Amino acid sequence: MKITTIGLGYIGLPTSLMFAKHGADVVGVDISKQTVNSLNSGNVPIEEPGLGAYLNEALLARKFKASLTPEAGDVFIIAVPTPNVADEFGCDLTYVKQAVNGILPLLEQGNIVIIESTISPRTTEDVIKPLIEKEGFQVGEDIFLVHCPERVLPGNILYELVYNNRIIGGVTEECTEKGKEVYRTFVKGELLGTAANVAELSKLMENTYRDVNIALANELVQIGAKLDIDALSVIEMANKHPRVNLHQPGPGVGGHCLAVDPYFIAAEAPEESQLIRKAREINRHMPDFVVQKVLAIMARNQGQTITVLGLAYKGNVDDIRESPAIQIVDKLKATTDYQIRTFDPFVASSSSASSLEEALDESDLALVLTDHNLFKEIPQEIISDMRNSILFDTKNCVKETSGFKKSYNLGNISIFK
């Protein structure tokens, strides 16, 4: 089986290498010449455990190559970004359409076209299917069109690609069966056959569910701050109930999925998605809440330097897409005269300090915005070098806080109403 993958980012590259590891001949296509050259030289451009080994194994076996142009094959996988439409909340299908149009001249009878990119409901049938049929093919008979959304967690992608259940959403039942044949190559989880439109909305609702529940926790933080009640303790106690599972709050919601996908639903059904849109509003404004509390802490302690620990949107990855940490840093720089230092061991290119020691030396405030393992235990000798050893841990990840003169989190921040 020969597979051509369009898009070699956080999903397209691991997916390509997983197919290559299991015997498929894979051509990975990307518009970035730097990415293509890097991959063909054996260097992965993203931080993901085990991915480098998979790449070098595939190159050695001649099962994978990166290219700027697509090639004919048996299966075409579209894994390109789908950002929000500029200044709007809908799904920008520009890259998806470009990718589909790019493979149309290569399509042959019997080919399978799989859309892994996250897309708005009904996109597969209403947008992509007409593009293919305009070329004279009959979808479901000549070409088999499927939406198979990814459902993996950065930092654990290679494991979850294999063991997570996989939604296989075909435009027809035959399309669904053809999609299952492809993913049986390596998936050990259940292959869940359904309609393409159900697959599209299911993927969006998986992330919307989490976004809405995080918004509830973040709203609780603001209620706790208003009423002088520890929100984190409230969550701990409430979750002792056998049927309650409140999510954890944070400085906002980042990543390509949770911060983006709910808008794809809201754009298609704005009047029917009141809760979804309100949850997005709460999470979108959480960085403003954090900045407000940071300014209050600094003013009370007459500080001068803020050290931001973590720029990625989640722990132990280098992904800064939609990261609330980046938003908070930008807001602090734009609205204050404080010295702002940044340190993220996974995002060195955006860090102003090269080490935790350098970042905290003579600093007044350690502002934890990402729960990297490195930040869970900050050595006392590093804390001692701070001018004002104050901690504001928005991820509640620092295990030992007794070394700090003052320690705040999203539970006890009510002192700064």
Task: Give residue-wise pLDDT tens across range 185-230.
Answer: 999 999 999 999 999 999 999 999 999 999 999 999 999 999 999 9
Identify the band that residue 145 occupies on the pLDDT scale cut at 50, 70 and 90: very high
Residue positions annotated with a catalytic role: 203, 257
Hey, is 408 helix, strand or coil?
Answer: strand
Beta strands in 295-348 (DSSP E): 305-309, 339-343
- Considering only residues 151 and 95, tell me which one the structure prediction assigns the higher pLDDT: 95
Predicted pLDDT at 153: 87
Q: What is the pLDDT of residues 343-363, one digit of tens each?
A: 999 998 889 999 999 999 999
Predicted pLDDT at 417: 57
**3-state SS of the chain: helix, strand, coil percent to 5?**
40, 15, 45
Q: What average pLDDT does the segment 327-335 reach?
A: 96
CB under 8 A, 24+ apart: contacts of 150-154? 150/11, 150/15, 150/79, 150/116, 150/118, 151/203, 151/206, 152/11, 152/14, 154/10, 154/48, 154/255, 154/314, 154/317, 154/319
Range with the lowest mean pLDDT among 112-121, 124-133, 251-260?
251-260
Measured in degrees and rounded to the nearest 5, phi and psi for residue 168 equal: -120, 100
What's the pTM value of the predicted model, to 2 decimals? Answer: 0.91
Calculate ∠ Cα 172-177-181, nearest 5°.
145
Rounded-to-10 torsion of CA 182, 188, 192, 198: -80
Predicted pLDDT at 283: 97
Q: What Rg value do the Cα atoms of the chain yield, rounded?
A: 23
Ordered domains of the chain (ranges, CATH)? 2-195 (3.40.50.720), 230-417 (3.40.50.720)
Identify the band that residue 154 occupies on the pLDDT scale cut at 50, 70 and 90: confident
H-helix or E-strand spanning residue 56 = helix 51-60
The answer, yes or no, to whether residue 148 has pLDDT greater than 80, is yes
Instruction: Enumerate residues 6+ apart whose C-beta is below 8 A from 62.
Output: none
The answer, yes or no, to whether residue 28 has pLDDT greater than 70, is yes
Please say whether the beta carbons of 299 and 390 come within 8 A: no
- Count Cβ atoms below 10 Å from residue 265 Cβ, excluding itself: 23
Instruction: Enumerate residues 6+ apart whose C-beta is below 8 A from 56.
Output: 42
Task: Give bridge partners of residue 409 from the DSSP assignment.
Answer: 393
Q: What is the pLDDT of residues 244-271, one digit of tens each?
A: 999 999 999 998 889 999 999 999 999 9
Identify the band that residue 87 occupies on the pLDDT scale cut at 50, 70 and 90: low
Predicted pLDDT at 416: 63
Calculate ∠ Cα 257-259-263, nearest 5°.
95
Hey, is 83 helix, strand or coil?
Answer: coil
Residue listed under structure tokens 């992608």 = 157
The answer, yes or no, to whether residue 239 has pLDDT greater than 90, is yes
The packing angle between helices 324-335 and 286-301, to 10°, is: 50
